[in-house]
Amino acid sequence: MSRIEFDTSEVKQLAADLSRAPGRIQRRAPKVFEVAANKIKRGMRRDASGHNYLSGLPSTVNYDHLGGLNYEIGFDKVGQGNLANFAAFGSINNAPVLDLNAPLRREVPFILRALAGAGEDSVLGGDGDR
């Protein structure tokens, strides 16, 4: 009778490596989101600038880190920041002049690419500095 044996040591090593992948991604995600929050904040400031009557509006854009991967990005309700809703949504007499979601829409592809890179690096190895 003949006997066939398979060397499964590499498969076992790969399984051990993959079991650590979710933790690697989770450790990298907070930095990705912190960078994204700053870029979105800068984008909102840039988009809010140049308005003749709301020249102080860009300086009221800020963000709060709410814990984990949660950020709140928007206008502080001080000074001209109190008028941000009129700029973003308009009023009965004025059309909106600001798209609040544009900076987020511009940043989403970069967030997804960074998280995909973190996932790839965590599974296949790599330094993650892409």
Query: How much is the pLDDT for 18?
Result: 65
9 located within any domain: no
Position 7 confidence tier, pLDDT thresholds 50, 70, 90: confident
Phi, psi (rounded to 5 degrees) for 71: -130, 145
- Per residue in 78-99, pLDDT (tens digit) is 888 888 888 888 889 888 888 8
Contacts of 47 (CB under 8 A, 6+ apart): 98, 99, 102, 103
Count of domains observed in the chain: 1
Helix 21-48 / helix 9-19 crossing angle, nearest 10 deg: 40
Query: Over the stretch 9-38, which tens digit does the pLDDT of each residue have?
Result: 777 766 666 666 777 778 888 999 999 999
70 sits in which H/E element:
strand 70-75
State the residue range of the domain holding 110. Answer: 20-124
In a domain, 15, yes or no: no
Q: 78: which 2 tokens?
A: 């001080």
What DSSP line would sit under 25-39, residue for residue? HHHHHHHHHHHHHHH
47 found inside a domain: yes
